[in-house]
Amino acid sequence: MSRNLPSPVALRSFEAAARNLSFTRAAQELYVTQSAVSHQVRALEEELGVRLFLRLTRQLKLTDAGETLLTVVRHAYDRIEETVQEIKAGSGAFPLRVSLTSYMAARWFTRRLDRFCARHPEIEIHLLLSNTEVDIRRTDLDVAIMWGYGEWTDVESIQLMPIQLIAVCSPTLLHDGPPLNQVSDLKHYPLLHESGRALWKSYLQAVGSAGTQSKRNIVMDDPNVLHQACIEGQGISLGAEALLAGELHLGQLVRPFTASVELGGYYIVCQPGARSRPNVSAFYEWLLDETKL
């Protein structure tokens, strides 16, 4: 059965132009003329019935449709390139492409990865770190580990672990500071926020302290940097108890009070039918076993 796909030449021209945001630079990369690239992109737009670029003065800008197509095409080319390299190298490894947040990767996943490699040396893990939710239906990912409430549609999902949101800080922060025995005592300390401040807002509202103020607010857009700042005594932060077990056990972080809030969970997500593939099935089994340790 033949595939109903656009011309490979048109897709290659689009990808180069979209990546460079320039027909001229795309033409130089592809060793063709600028008009040839422009012609291929225009033909692709006519075939799809949508505009892929906004052609501004001396500038190209992707439309929403262009952004969507670029994501899929880029992943497809990446996968082709990786497979070609594996074939050239004679590698027998079978790749498994997994998406998760950098925070989940650093705090939980990579600390256990050696056990998966020992159990399944034939499977080569490729991690794609993203701090925004991915639409696995529009990618070539095999598995995604995602936070949520399990309400995704047109995918298969199973809860990996529930999330209990807790407040944590460095013991050094409390050593010479005011008492921090209850939520209202947060007014004496700086709070560390992820961008948007949504976690603290949800937490304080859930524990009945929505009006609580802090000494100051520090906002960071990288949860791993925020986590390190908390360890170094820069303020109080929130985190998933299951992902902080190591730091709590070592005494790098402490819980100043016991209040916790259930906030969804981490889920293993894949496209329908993907779990029937041996490498995906093995990965699911290992992940679920890890939560029992």
At residue 66, the pLDDT reads 92
Let me know if residue 1 belongs to a domain.
no
φ, ψ of residue 165 to 5 degrees: the values are -85, 125
**Residue 17 belongs to a domain with what CATH number?**
1.10.10.10
Asked if residue 138 and residue 253 are part of one domain, the reply reads yes
What confidence score (pLDDT) does residue 162 get? 94
The radius of gyration of the chain's CA atoms, rounded to the nearest angstrom, is: 24
Q: Are residues 139 and 266 in the same domain?
A: yes
Q: How far lies 67's CA from each of 44, 140, 194, in Å?
A: 14, 16, 26
What's the total number of domains in the chain? 2
Same domain, 18 and 49: yes
Q: Is residue 85 part of a domain?
A: no
Check whether residue 21 and residue 106 sit in a common domain.
Answer: no
Residue 207 makes CB contacts below 8 A (sequence gap 6+) with 183, 259, 261
Cβ pair 36, 44 in contact under 8 A? no
Domain that residue 127 falls in: 92-293
Residue 183 in any domain: the answer is yes
Whether 203 and 105 map to the same domain: the answer is: yes
In a domain, 197, yes or no: yes
Dist CA 275 CA 129 (whole Å): 21
Those residues with Cβ within 8 angstroms of residue 22's Cβ, 6 or more apart along the chain or in another chain: 60
**Quick one: CA dihedral 30, 36, 39, 43, positive or negative?**
negative
pLDDT of residue 292: 85
Low-confidence residues in the chain, pLDDT < 70: 1-2, 85-94
pLDDT of residue 104: 93
Q: What is the pLDDT of residue 2?
A: 61
202 assigned to some structural domain? yes
pLDDT digits (tens, 9 = 90+) for 144-185: 999 999 989 889 999 999 999 999 999 999 887 888 888 888
**pLDDT given for residue 232 in this prediction:** 94
pLDDT of residue 90: 54
Q: How far is CA 176 from CA 38, 82, 179, 227, in A?
A: 66, 54, 9, 21
Claim to verify: residue 102 and residue 66 sit in the same structural domain: no
- For residues 98 and 67, membership in a common domain is answered with no
Domain-embedded: residue 292 = yes
Instruction: Please report, for the domain that includes residue 214, its CATH number.
Output: 3.40.190.290
Same domain, 68 and 114: no
* 59 and 171 inside one domain: no
86 in any annotated domain? no
49 and 163 belong to one structural domain: no
Q: Are residues 101 and 68 in the same domain?
A: no
**pTM given for the model:** 0.67
Note whether 189 and 235 are within 8 A (CB).
Answer: yes
In this structure, what DSSP letter does residue 105 have? I
Residue 153: which residues within 8 A CB-CB, separation 6 or more? none
Establish if 80 belongs to a structural domain: no
Give CA angle at 46 (44, 52), nearest 5°. Answer: 60
C-alpha closest to that of 6 among 43, 61, 55, 39: 43
- Specify whether 66 is located in the same domain as 97: no
Cα-flanking dihedrals φ and ψ of residue 208, to 5°?
Answer: 75, 25
